[in-house]
Chains A and B, each alone.
Chain A
């Protein structure tokens, strides 16, 4: 490796150590972690006082982090249960992407209250979670999970795409990393929408049913409130309602190609951003938090 390359590597010590050096070691399975933003980098910046979110920004980051965390926990349940091994891995990858986003957002949010990502994930109670109801909805069958993922990924893509322009540098950086991953989640779910809708009569019925089940939870994603509006005016956040037109247009295109209709279902009441959750979240938290609560401070 030339000196120039060494200097331009972000986490030089890691990538050089793992990858070895010189073209002779290049292969199809060569391992380099790359140099994208990691939750550990945010933790370091928070710990050293380089960044500290305002109370508002922390609360906003908590919302986005909780969305991703709860969805990651839901998707992780598919591992070993998907229709094929390859889909296990695909859903597991998406879950891990979401977990990564959650770790970044929660680490940053915790900077306002001197709490770690683990303290926020494992030692908050149900009413302290700020995730929207869509993310805690049960996996159902594969089509229901795809329907949920379809809505989530098109919503998150529009959100993160705009959040890269945030005046808050850390939120912008997390979004810049996340938006590429979510773009792939969009592609994955859209591919499956098309295949299930145009596969067999049974797969089509299941896809229609799945969309009908998750659509009542779409409205909550685009509901503004005081916090989001205040932050959006300051340029730090994105007003949820401003995402709706692009979401409707892009999901509409996929559904039209799949010859599916946008479900006309009444909106569920929501309230996740205020800590009011459906009956599902308690069970998710019980499973997610039990180990950390039984053995506080345990590590590998």
Chain B
């Protein structure tokens, strides 16, 4: 079997994965609710409706092909996310109010 056969087999026998984002009725932004399999975007929306809005959770759904999402490397926590620690001057509360400035 050549590599091309393998690709075509896997792409026809398993539906691709979609990530589902649901917006609740109160005007919040879309929140990641989970994932599902579907043959195409139209069916993914319908499956998402059946799986993630059964209990009145939402008024809007986004589905995104899972492989279209670029994610940060979970092993790179140190270099990616620890740098801001200790840099309290990046927070507004670091600064004292100057005298005479109103509306702060």
Q: Which residues of A are in contact with B by a Cβ distance under 8 Å?
A: 23, 26-34, 84-87, 89-90, 93, 184, 187-188, 191, 195
Contact = CB atoms under 8 A, between A and B. Distances in A.
Contact of B57 (A29, A85, A86, A93): A29
B75 interface: no
A31 B22 contact: no
Nearest to A93: B50
Contact of A187 (B32, B46, B47): B46
- Interface of chain A, main secondary structure: helix
B58 A28 contact: yes
Contacts, number: 62
Of A28, A30, A32, A86, most B-chain CB atoms within 10 Å: A28
Contacts of B15: 84, 86
A197 to B, nearest CB: 14
Contacts of B52: 28
B64 interface: no
Interface of B: 15, 21-24, 26, 28, 30-33, 36-40, 42-43, 46-47, 49-52, 54-58
A269 B21 CA distance: 49
The 3 closest A-B pairs by CB, nearest first: A28-B31, A86-B47, A26-B26
Contacts of B40: 195
A32 B56 contact: yes
A195 B26 CA distance: 35
Contacts of A26: 24, 26, 28
9 contacts: A27-B28, A28-B33, A32-B56, A86-B50, A86-B51, A89-B51, A191-B42, A191-B43, A195-B39
A93 B43 contact: no
A184 B50 CA distance: 10
Contacts of A28: 21-24, 28, 30-33, 52, 57-58
Nearest to B53: A28
Nearest to B43: A191
Nearest to A200: B12
A86 B44 CA distance: 9
A191 B46 contact: yes
Contact of B37 (A23, A32, A86, A188): A86
Contact of A27 (B24, B37, B50, B56): B24
